[in-house]
Amino acid sequence: MLRHLSVLVITLVVAVTTSLAHQGERACTPEQWEAVVVGKVAEQSQGKFYIVDVVGKAAADYEKGVIGLSESVFSQGQYVGSYLYLNTKSASYLADVVNKHCQKLPPVTVEQPCSDSSWLTYRTSWLVGGTQWSDTYQHNNGSSKTTFTIMRDNFAMISENVEHVIGGVPQLVTLQYGNMTKGITDPSIFNIPSYCNI
């Protein structure tokens, strides 16, 4: 299960640092934002296919260089656990909140994504609800391919799909972002748990 969370965390970091908008005028994701996240992680291993569901909250503060993801994980409708991923300028943390277990990882550079970032390839645009445009981009990073869809008007992320191989196991991560808002209403998502002081 910790590997599933690691994949989701990597996905969030990539998403936070790579979303773009296809438009002539420069646009950026808000300097601080939070959103509800729901999704699935699917993998095939030793001839079996596994799927877990995730529900949680993601937040970013680019000025402070931090991102956080607090989530609950379910397998076949049964609660599996609660996890926190936190990336700061000095380290990243992957915490099992229920069992109070924590891994300290190297930090990932977090930058505010803007429409003039150069590492995404524009793919297509879609009319959503007949009135708003969304844009889809792709980011290839070695054996990983990530596809993002964002709203053009407010630069809010709608969804992402990540195809990659982790430890020889192919995985597909699909996330939907909802209610993405400017600002941080609950800064505790950025607090390093006391059991992570390793």
Tokens of 83: 């996890």
Cα 109–Cα 136–Cα 166 angle in degrees, nearest 5: 50
For residue 173, the model assigns a pLDDT of 86
- Residue 170 confidence class, pLDDT cut points 50, 70, 90: confident
- Residue 187 confidence class, pLDDT cut points 50, 70, 90: very high
Q: Rounded CA gap, 63 and 12, in Å?
A: 18
The predicted model gives 155-164 an average pLDDT of 86
Q: Rounded CA gap, 34 and 57, in Å?
A: 7
- Residue 195 confidence class, pLDDT cut points 50, 70, 90: very high
Higher-confidence residue of 143 and 51: namely 51
For residue 2, the model assigns a pLDDT of 52
In a 3-state reduction of DSSP, which class is residue 162?
A: strand
| pTM for the structure as a whole | 0.76
133 in Cβ contact with 119 (< 8 Å): no
For residue 198, the model assigns a pLDDT of 61
The predicted model gives 68-89 an average pLDDT of 92
For residue 162, the model assigns a pLDDT of 85
Model confidence at 17: pLDDT above 80: no
